[in-house]
Amino acid sequence: MAYETLIVETRGNVGLVTLNRPQALNALNSTVLKELKEAYAAFHADEAVGAIVLTGSERAFAAGADIKEMQPLQFADIYKSDFISGWDEVAKARKPVIAAVSGFALGGGCELAMMCDFIIASETAKFGQPEITLGVIPGMGGSQRLTRAVGKAKAMDLILTGRMMDAAEAERSGLVSRVVAPDRLLDEALAAAEKIASLSRPSVMMAKEAVNRAFETTLEEGLRFERRLFHSLFATDDQKEGMAAFVEKRKPAFTHR
């Protein structure tokens, strides 16, 4: 399929999506959303793909929702169409998605990175929610996901002032899982994704579901949910294979069943 705003390819068992609107620092417009949904759907349908890496350019992961597209919009229209709610579908990807962030991840760009399962950042990455400087607030999850990721104090600081934080601060505050040299970013993200893709798909997908449930429910319910998923994995061939391989001191050959 031909994409206008993305480069979509597979590397081994990893689906790689590169945001590609260099003239607008990868600002997220409705075409990006439509194409990202299509790319994710194709990767989900592809049995060979076990994980996805989402990245941008060296200068910008994405500098936000497209301000030029939003500028003329009126309340009644965006309310009726529930403008930008389509991003929820991107956030609900069932296969693991790693964000590989270099340069600006601002506004909707930071929010898109936070929709991924974890973020690997280049030392050049800059995160922020500058919407307040435009007379609006985050609209793709920033006030909710950033607060859960870094806590109230840091989220309020970023969202109320619109300032950017660098990669070191983002790592200290728990927004990103690793910071690497710029020239290592893609390799590091692809290696992590390939590792995930080499593991049993049902257990990987359930692990993702279980961690995400921690943000949605009580501890009691979350523990019960985790335990039930754990029990259910004993119905898979991969549990038999994984444990047999350990006992027999060999590498497991997962069949993802």
Closest by CA position to 14, among listed 48, 61, 62:
48
Which is closer to ligand CAA, CB of 43 or CB of 61? 61
Q: Give me the residues paired with residue 104 across strands.
A: 60, 126
Stretch in the footprint of ligand CAA (CB under 6 A) among 73-81, 106-114, 220-228, 245-253 = 106-114
Per rule CB under 6 A, is residue 165 in the interface with ligand CAA?
no
Q: Could you say which residues in the range 4-33 bind ligand CAA, by CB under 6 A?
A: 24-25, 27
**Residue 72 phi, psi (nearest 5):** -85, 0
Nearest-approach distance from CB 22 to ligand CAA, in angstroms: 9
Is 63 catalytic? The answer is no
Handedness of CA 69, 75, 76, 78 (dihedral sign): positive
Which is closer to ligand CAA, CB of 15 or CB of 108? 108
> Which listed residue (107, 125, 131, 188) is catalytic?
131
Contact 97, 51 (CB under 8 A): yes
Measure the CA–CA gap between 78 and 74, rounded to whole angstroms.
Answer: 6
> What single DSSP character describes residue 28?
B
- Per DSSP, the three-state class of 66 is coil
> What single DSSP character describes residue 231?
H
Per rule CB under 6 A, is residue 139 in the interface with ligand CAA?
yes
Contact 59, 104 (CB under 8 A): yes
Is 169 catalytic? The answer is no
Is 9 catalytic? The answer is no
Among 35, 111, 117, 238, binds ligand CAA (CB under 6 A): 111
Stretch in the footprint of ligand CAA (CB under 6 A) among 73-81, 105-113, 178-186, 189-197 = 105-113
Instruction: Read off the tokens for 76.
Output: 């009644």
Contacts of residue 91, defined as CB under 8 A and 6 or more positions apart, other chains included, come to: 115, 141
Stretch in the footprint of ligand CAA (CB under 6 A) among 43-51, 128-136, 187-195, 223-231 = 128-136
Pairing state of beta strands 6-11 and 14-19? antiparallel
Total residues at interface with ligand CAA (CB under 6 A) = 22
Among 40, 43, 61, 104, binds ligand CAA (CB under 6 A): 104
Is 4 catalytic? The answer is no
Among 14, 36, 39, 84, binds ligand CAA (CB under 6 A): 84
Measure the CA–CA gap between 203 and 163, rounded to whole angstroms.
Answer: 39
Nearest-approach distance from CB 66 to ligand CAA, in angstroms: 4
Q: Could you say which residues in the range 40-79 bind ligand CAA, by CB under 6 A?
A: 63-68
Please count the residues of the chain. 257
Among 32, 33, 49, 106, binds ligand CAA (CB under 6 A): 106
Contacts of residue 168, defined as CB under 8 A and 6 or more positions apart, other chains included, come to: 123, 179
Nearest-approach distance from CB 29 to ligand CAA, in angstroms: 8
Residues that bind ligand CAA (CB under 6 A): 24-25, 27, 63-68, 84, 104, 106-108, 111, 130-131, 134, 138-140, 142
Please identify every residue annotated as catalytic: 65, 108, 111, 131
